Amino acid sequence: MRIRLIGIGKAIALLLGATMAIGQSVTEQFIPIGQSPGLSGKYTDLGEIKQVDIEGRIITLDVAAGRRTVMVTKRTRIWLDRSKLRQTNMVGGFMDLHEGRQVEVKYEDDTRRQAAAWIKIRSTRP
């Protein structure tokens, strides 16, 4: 009986953890750059876009660890962070990625850090 209770407890903990992760991915677009709980600075890079390759869908960033090249795939979600303007964040697109813009990038694979899962772009204009 005790083993079953431990098993049920582990199953509940796994389900709650998955629910929290799903919840954060749904609300991520509304969280300002650098403020994603448990992600920002640990599993994301914050930096400035130095180069944009439109044909290759690749951006080059200056981040704390140096220069990083990031692939922007069709699956990459892009958001405009308008929190500094006291406005609601909104969905953006590849054409919003310009040299000099501040971004936060979350990768599909946290270890390899090649393709972006999502990108937040700091917006300074309404």
**Is pLDDT above 90 for 78?**
yes
H/E segment holding residue 10: helix 2-27
Question: Does any domain span residue 61?
Answer: yes
H/E segment holding residue 68: strand 66-71
**Is pLDDT above 60 for 5?**
no
Q: Domain of 78?
A: 31-122
Per residue in 26-68, pLDDT (tens digit) is 788 889 999 888 888 889 999 999 999 999 999 999 998 899 9
- Distance between CA 48 and CA 59 in Å, rounded? 10
Question: Does any domain span residue 100?
Answer: yes
pLDDT the model gives residue 18: 46
| Radius of gyration of the CA atoms of the chain, in A | 17
Block residue for tokens 């310009």: 98
How many domains does the chain fold into? 1
Residue 48's CATH number? 2.40.50.320
Question: Does any domain span residue 20?
Answer: no
Query: Does pTM top 0.85 for this prediction?
Result: no
Mean pLDDT of 97-110: 95
Question: Does any domain span residue 18?
Answer: no
Question: Does any domain span residue 64?
Answer: yes
**Phi then psi dihedrals of residue 70, to 5 deg:** -130, 130
pLDDT the model gives residue 104: 96
Question: Does any domain span residue 51?
Answer: yes
- Contacts for 54 with CB less than 8 Å, ≥ 6 apart: 94
- Distance between CA 113 and CA 116 in Å, rounded? 8
Question: Does any domain span residue 7?
Answer: no
Q: 104: which 2 tokens?
A: 């936060």
The one-letter amino acid code at 19 reads: T
